[in-house]
Amino acid sequence: MGKPEDTLGEISEITAKLVELGLSDDQKFPVLRQIGRDQKEITFGESEGFSRVLRNVSYTEAYAEIRKNRDYNLSLADGALVQLQYRFDGDEILKHRLAFFPSPDLSVYQNDPEIYEQDLIYAEVLERSVVTTPMRFDFDKNAFEEDIHPMSHFTIGQYKNCRIPVASAVSPFRFFEFVMNAFYNTAFRNMSADLRGGDIIFKPSITTSESKKIHVALELDL
């Protein structure tokens, strides 16, 4: 099962590897800080953590604010931003927010021929037909409400009530594996041997009712 220190270590290892592979052009390594007596939070640098959530603004405005304040773990070379935040009570996960924010304007990259010369790493992202869409995996034990707010869920876009059930909390490696495979498949296929992890497994949180709907399954130690 995932503990705060193990989760911190996995984020740090993945960050270092993406820098080494040339997939990140700016990054902030994760920090583990004490929240009250028993709780710990993993976030990036001097971030305000989960307290800073941009609401009721356009995606372009939200992206610009995140970039301006460097509220991210990683800024990828195509402008996409990645956030990973976790909160634990002892060794029990309470909350996480794992977000992927693609650049709302890819024209600057689409018009740069040098990017296409980088072994086609960003070929899928920079197709002119691509419509950028943010997505995130959220986990919140205290916000659970049966058939309304799954404890672990996947959200596409900025839709308020888009909460696709997920089998459990998501580890840093599984999140990066999803992002790389879905959005940077060329890079993922070329470099998957260098991206290692998967030892962290969180206990199942999906309910019977949620499991009967379309949901995101994970490799769980049942």
Residue range 42-60, pLDDT digits in tens: 999 765 555 555 667 888 8
Q: Which of 108, 142, 138 is nearest to 126 (CA)?
A: 108
Task: Tally Cβ neighbours within 10 Å of residue 149.
Answer: 14
Helices (H) and strands (E) in the chain, counts: 7, 9
Is the Cβ–Cβ distance between 82 and 100 less than 8 Å? yes
Which residues are paired to 204 by β-bridges?
Answer: 168
Residue-range domain boundaries for the chain: 4-211
Task: List per-residue pLDDT tens for the chain, 222 residues long.
Answer: 678 999 999 999 989 988 888 788 899 999 999 988 889 999 997 655 555 556 678 888 989 999 999 999 999 878 899 999 999 999 999 999 999 998 887 655 555 556 544 545 555 555 666 677 899 999 999 999 998 999 999 999 888 899 999 999 999 999 998 998 888 777 677 666 666 666 788 999 999 999 999 999 886 544
Q: What is the per-residue pLDDT for 30?
A: 95
Which residues are paired to 43 by β-bridges?
Answer: 31
pLDDT (tens digit per residue) in 2-11: 789 999 999 9
Instruction: List the structure tokens of 17.
Output: 């590897």
Q: What is the per-residue pLDDT for 125?
A: 58
Query: In sequence order, which residues have a C-beta less than 8 Å from that of residue 140 and are 6 or more positions away?
Result: 94, 95, 149, 151
